[in-house]
Amino acid sequence: MTTRTLIANARVVDPARGRESEGWLLLDGDTIADLGDGPAPDVDGADVVDAAGRVVCPGLIDLRVNAGEPGAEHKETLATASAAAAAGGVTSVVVTPETKPTIDDPALIDFLMRRARDTAAVRVHPAAALTKGLAGTEIAEIGLLRDAGAVMFSNGPRPLADAGLMRRALLYARGLGALVAVRPEDAALAGRGVAHEGDYAARLGLEGVPVLAERVQIERDAAIAADAGARLLFDQVSSAAGLAALARAKADGAPVSASVSAFHLALNDLDVGDYRTYARLSPPLRAEHDRDALIHALKDGLVDVVVSAHDPQPPEDKRLPFAEATPGGVGLETLLSVLLGLVHDERMSLAEALRPATVAPAELLGLPQGRLAKGAPADVILVDAGAPWVCKSEDLRSLSKNTPFDERRLQGRALKTWVAGRVVFDRAAVGR
């Protein structure tokens, strides 16, 4: 017998329709059986959850998670990453191929999916390497990887330096309908930079990454994508200059989309402070006007997706001089709070803030999740949108605690998380 759960008295937010209403939701087994406005009907044998007027919305879909497995299990595992995801209201994660070994072989996709089935609390979708070993020299077996379950193809933290190979990879991917993602950062222009190129990094004596590095790469790769007629996702656009290039490409009809990390929506280059390595990210935290431009672009739909850019790094890789520390921050448990922060700051509506982490990534990947509709998967979260909390790194569920939000006050958290109709997280039960 399947379990039925009736979530009553909810502020139901469906970012797919941009709609928000007082209503109810019935989960039956692993799907949403029904939903409606007003008081909930009586449903025989259903567990009733009284949302008490709180937000119920689709679980978040995070397109960029580094989960450590295989090869870096001391940093994170699918089990710990998915526990963090569940607590953060994230019900689907796309894990990066930046592992050891690199996910560039169908057998490794199979391994990841079986590990996820056995150990993960949320849905895990592997992204595969666009080139073998992420080396940027040979196209990976995109077709076989796709058939094994890869949902996306990325070249990890680097773009393809070789424009000819990029063109062939996109042409090849188009034939298979595969989505390709690249980090827009020209390696030569980025140089040895470790922070946003600007006044603050110059004062600190840190080499800067110019925004030009992003702009130039977006211009090149958008032109190649347009020529190839292939879909391309720019992974973590960080700057106003990059957004301007993206806007021009989209206006020209290039089939491109873009993500932004939650870190870049909430923090700026001054958060590096006194060489805080937890704020060393790649791309680096940019200037305040860049952050503001990213929020505008999100509201306008120029940026399609928000990712956590979850990248666990243990103390031995962070307790170093700034330039020697490994970039990256854990973000699964703060993604939702950052999105809600945009609502509290009156930058956008709740549906607008949730869309780039629910239905928008679902549409990019062709997943049925990310929306509230009859027959959709029962991946749903109950959210206390206003709950204030202080992010303490030691309380995080990730194996690594490197959050740039350490000691910051945030607002809004998931209370309960369902994946395929099953409760995978219940804050009241765990107490934190």
Partner 1 sequence: MTRAAPYRFPHRHLLGIEGLNRLDAEAILTRAEKYVAVSRRTEKKESVLRGRTQINLFFEASTRTQSSFEIAGKRLGADVMNMSVTTSSVAKGETLLDTAATLNAMRPDLLVVRHGASGAANLLAQKVGCAVVNAGDGAHEHPTQALLDALSLTRRLGSLEGVTVAIVGDIRHSRVARSNVILLQLLGARVRLAGPATLLPLGAGDWGATVFDALEPALEGADVVMMLRLQLERMHGAFVPSMREYFRFWGLDSAKLARAKPNALIMHPGPMNRGVEIASNVADDPERSLITDQVEMGVAVRMAVLDILAENAPPPVTNA
* Distance from C-alpha of 255 to C-alpha of 245, rounded to nearest angstrom: 14
Is position 314 an interface residue for partner 1 (rule: CB under 8 A)?
no
Task: Find, among 4, 59, 56, the residue nearest to 33 by Cα.
Answer: 4
CA torsion sign for 145, 367, 258, 313 is: negative
Kindly state whether residue 193 participates in binding partner 1, applying the rule CB under 8 A. Answer: no
Q: CB 321 → partner 1: shortest distance, Å?
A: 3
Instruction: Tell me the β-bridge partners of 128.
Output: 153
Beta bridge partners of 23: 10, 37
> Is position 324 an interface residue for partner 1 (rule: CB under 8 A)?
yes
Closest alpha carbon to 185 in 208, 152, 151: 208
Return the residue of 18, 70, 149, 191 that touches partner 1, per CB under 8 A. 191
- Work out which of 153, 172, 234, 322 binds partner 1, going by CB under 8 A: 322
**Residues, the chain:** 432
Site for partner 1 (CB under 8 A): which residue of 3, 168, 275, 408? 275
Pick one of 204, 223, 226, 247: the residue that binds partner 1 (CB under 8 A).
204
Which stretch, 158-166, 251-259, 319-327, 352-360, contacts partner 1 (CB under 8 A)? 319-327
Q: Which of 203, 251, 428, 432 forms a contact with partner 1 (CB under 8 A)?
A: 203
Judging by DSSP bridges, how do beta strands 380-390 and 19-28 pair with one another?
unpaired
| Sign of the dihedral defined by the CA atoms of residues 134, 109, 146, 365, in that order | negative
**Rounded Cα distance, 329 and 308, in Å:** 9
| CA triple 213-173-364, angle to 5 deg | 75
Residue from the set 7, 26, 201, 254 that interacts with partner 1 by CB under 8 A: 201
Residue 317: CB minimum distance to partner 1, A = 10
The closest alpha carbon to 418, from 42, 120, 30, 43, belongs to 30
- Is residue 43 part of the contact set for partner 1 (CB under 8 A)? no
Considering only 177, 205, 229, 386, the residue that binds partner 1 (CB under 8 A) is 205
- Using the 8-state DSSP alphabet, how is residue 60 labeled? E
Q: How far is the CB of 277 from partner 1 (least distance, A)?
A: 9
Residue 275 or 389 with smaller CB distance to partner 1: 275
Comparing CB distances to partner 1, the nearer of 204 and 247 is 204
Q: Which stretch binds partner 1 (CB under 8 A): 38-46, 156-164, 200-208, 248-256?
A: 200-208
Q: How far is the CB of 393 from partner 1 (least distance, A)?
A: 16
Q: Which stretch binds partner 1 (CB under 8 A): 132-140, 317-325, 349-357, 397-405?
A: 317-325
Q: From the list 22, 147, 316, 345, which residue makes contact with partner 1 (rule: CB under 8 A)?
A: 316
Q: How far apart are CA 296 and CA 94, in angstroms?
A: 25
Burial zone of 296 (CB within 10 Å; 0-12 exposed, 13-18 middle, 19+ buried): middle
Round to whole Å and give the CA distance between 327 and 309. 11
**Interface region with partner 1, contact rule CB under 8 A, candidates 62-70, 206-214, 304-312, 337-345:** 206-214
Amino acid type, 280 = R
Per CB under 8 A, residues contacting partner 1 are 191-192, 197-208, 210, 274-275, 316, 319-324
